[in-house]
A and B are shown apart, each in its own frame.
Chain A
Amino acid sequence: MIIYTNNILVEKKYKEKVKVIFVEGNYGQVLIKVRDQVHLGCHILNHPLYGSVKPNETPFRSVAVEEGKELDLESVDIIEYALLTYKKYMENAEKIKQDKYPDEITDDFRMIDLDLFSNAMDGIIKA
């Protein structure tokens, strides 16, 4: 299993258990990394659009994949739809000014992301 994340709390929690690739980038860049791996045969384990905090709100995303050799069409479908959704939100968000979040709110987004991702992973890996 490989976890792609830009959330340092997710990296910290799982790096001793599984391979974690920290992505220096935003929500969309995590999705792109995952998309690239899916096209090389990886299967997605958790839905990339987990939670209800919108892509133009939370900066954090964490996606677990399982390595494989054959293209998994279901994973392709899910990641491509997720990227389309991400782009749609960002295009619409560009028309309005987003608040620059203070650090404590960014911390809250990070914490919620860790919670949602951990709840998903509970059925897959204990950490």
Chain B
Amino acid sequence: MSLELRKIKITDVKFDDSNKIENGILYLNKKIMEELVTEDKRIKSVSFDIARPGESVRIIPVKDVVEPRAKIDGDTFPGLFKETIEEAGNGITYALSGVAVTTTGPIVGFQEGLIDMSGPAADYTIFSEINHVVMTIKKNDNIDAHEHEEMVRLAGIKLAKYIATIGFEYEDYEAEVYEWESIGERYNKYPDLPKVAYVYNCMSQGLLHDTYFYGRDSKLMLPTLISPLEVMDGAIISGNCVSPGSKTTTYHHENNAVIESLMSRHGKEINLVGIILNPLMTTLKEKYRNIMLTVRTVKMLGVDGVLISQEGFGNPTTDLMHICKGIENEGIKTVIITNEDAGEDGMSESLPDSVTEADAIVSTGNSNESFTIPAMDKTIGDLEAIKRITGGHADSINEDGSLKIEVQIIMGSHNLQGNTFLTAYTK
């Protein structure tokens, strides 16, 4: 498996009569985008907006953030728009970095996710540093919540995929070639390096709490060995937006920080031999089956160390801890990544489950940390939503327009693959 990822750095986005990229500026035709998105007859109307780094702009509530990616010779985000499925992770993929398609608009009454493009909240999310093509979608009557969620999710991916094709003619890109050989080849290639596996947890629980693998609901899958290259090609997308700080958006999947970090060390410090995608389900039977299968796969890979990333909080902490326990009991060193809910003062017990074997934890921060953010000149979406979303409350809006928030309201603020600014370095 070999993937050439051609990254085009987009520095600005403007609406224009035609679609093109010139000198790093992405020009988009609203009418063409509208026609594309409204091909889905469930959609009543769509409107577009642009939010740029440094602007006094707030986007709320955010559903998903998608980096535009498309293949010249194949299908990114496979399994979504065609019945046939091509294996992702081969060939040439264009990625427009510095820009994302960001979906907003109500699905259910409680809404999730805030992105500020400037001010103190901007320091807490990677999304303040990229341009956003914000899409507000309204549904036709008689579309239920499940259809509505699917409609918004697919529209975001479809537009992102389309925008990326504009890059095909643009020659100013940085290319990186990734190789993914068979397990045997990787073992033989770096016999002296420590062998490492990555357990990639994903939410799989129901409406607004789902993940899709090759377009299919991850609730229907078992823990599966996957390739990092297919993740870069959009084989995993997010259907998950409740509790925004700890959710893996599609952008986070495409740019999985654990995968990027492991791949950059592969062949130098470590030998990355496998990634196991594990669905986080809610019945105990399914949890324990998936824990057992994940631990067994790790054991069969014969690795020396494992890294586990988390998604969500609460019941997924049980999976996280028990996978860690199972792997550690096999004598394999394990590190887990999780956020903490330790209360506003940081004094509450921070995890809803724990095991003594979890002796190496990377924390992505306390999601209840609170602070005040100033009013923005422009809000895309609905500011009132803040009263009903995780990290906001009825008194969140102060008289002067500033907002009292918890850090977890910010989209991706403590992303659990570590793609976050909440970080610490040791020397």
Contacts and interface: CB of A to CB of B under 8 A. Distances in A.
A116 B209 contact: yes
A97 interface: yes
B393 A123 contact: no
A30 to B, nearest CB: 15
A74 B353 CA distance: 12
Most buried by B among A50, A52, A89, A121: A52
B390 A120 contact: no
Contacts of B318: 47, 78
A54 B390 contact: yes
Given A51-B242, A52-B209, A98-B393, A123 B110 contact: no
B109 A49 contact: no
Most buried by A among B209, B243, B344: B209
A52 B352 contact: no
A95 B110 contact: no
A81 B348 contact: no
Nearest to B353: A81
Interface stretch (B60-68, B115-123, B284-292): B284-292
Contacts of B206: 51, 112, 115-116, 118-120
Interface stretch (B3-11, B26-34, B180-188, B307-315): B307-315
B262 to A, nearest CB: 27
Most buried by B among A78, A91, A108: A108
A19 interface: no
Interface stretch (A10-18, A21-29, A32-40, A99-107): A99-107
Contacts of B284: 44-47, 74, 78
B27 to A, nearest CB: 38
Contacts of B242: 51-53
B233 interface: no
A116 B247 CA distance: 17
B254 interface: no
Nearest to B393: A96
Contact of B283 (A46, A92, A100): A46
B349 interface: yes
Contacts of A53: 110, 242-243, 390
Nearest to B107: A108
A8 interface: no
Contacts of A104: 109
Contacts of A100: 394
A109 interface: yes
Contacts of B287: 47
Nearest to B389: A57
Contacts of A49: 314-315, 352
B71 interface: no
B341 A88 contact: yes
B398 to A, nearest CB: 13
B388 A105 contact: yes
Interface string B321-359: 000000000000000000001011000110011000000
B108 interface: yes
A102 B315 CA distance: 28
A2 interface: no
Interface of B: 108-110, 145-146, 203, 205-209, 219, 240, 242-243, 246-247, 281-287, 312-315, 318, 341, 343-344, 348-349, 352-353, 368, 387-388, 390, 393-395
Given A52-B209, A85-B352, 6 more contacts: A45-B284, A52-B312, A53-B242, A88-B341, A96-B394, A120-B283
14 contacts: A47-B284, A49-B315, A52-B246, A54-B243, A57-B110, A74-B284, A78-B353, A99-B387, A99-B394, A101-B388, A116-B205, A116-B207, A116-B282, A120-B283
Interface of A: 44-54, 57, 74, 78, 81-82, 84-85, 88-89, 91-92, 95-102, 104-105, 107-109, 111-112, 115-116, 118-121, 123-124
